[in-house]
Amino acid sequence: MADEADPMHAPDFLSETEPFRLVEAWCQEADLKEPRDANAIQVATVDASGMPNIRSVLVKDRGPDGFTFYTNFESAKGRELLAARKAALLYYWKSLSRQIRVRGAVDIVSDATADAYFATRPRDSQLGAWASHQSHQMAERGEFARRMKEMRERFANSAVPRPPHWSGFRLIPSYIEFWQERPFRHHDRLAFEKDGNSWRRSLLYP
């Protein structure tokens, strides 16, 4: 029997046949062990010229139907996602020495879904969604502070509604790859690629 300390010993996850079961198991473990923002991902997009962009966001929902995050449609990522309708995301948990890579098509969540999530946000976050021209230039920091003041006055006596330019995107996976760090860069990689209504799995060299 292979020694657990042996860097070539294959961990149990390499035998997994259902990718979302493994996504959930790894995310739940990260929730317990990652010190901060276990639901943080990096989202990669491309602009009209094909130049890539990447930034960190928080996943607010995950499952077989995809990975959901929220943003301003007028931001750089919002414009790029709306134009290309494709993206990639990466979970990386340094404390667990693990990552999950996902690629796929992008869809917009329903208004009802976006409204329900927006209602759970802290009030200042809601006001910030109205005040910020996300990704656009501003003359100086005080400009944003003044817009926040305007929004506080505007909604002083009411709930803050979701702005029409703010909603959620769902990345629908066509490719999911699991990576586990191993000694000497003998890393373990398990990939799933969508094939019709099923997943084709493969092991990858480090």
Give catalytic residue positions.
Answer: 185
Cα–Cα distance for residue pair 117/121, rounded to 1 Å = 7
Contact 167, 68 (CB under 8 A): no
Phi-psi region of 202 (alpha: psi -120 to 50; beta: other; left: phi over 0): beta
One-character DSSP codes across 163-189? PTTEEEEEEEEEEEEEEE--GGG--EE
Cα–Cα distance for residue pair 62/66, rounded to 1 Å = 6
Give me the residues paired with residue 103 across strands: 88, 175
Question: Strands 198-204 and 52-58, how do they pair?
Answer: unpaired
Contact 27, 38 (CB under 8 A): yes
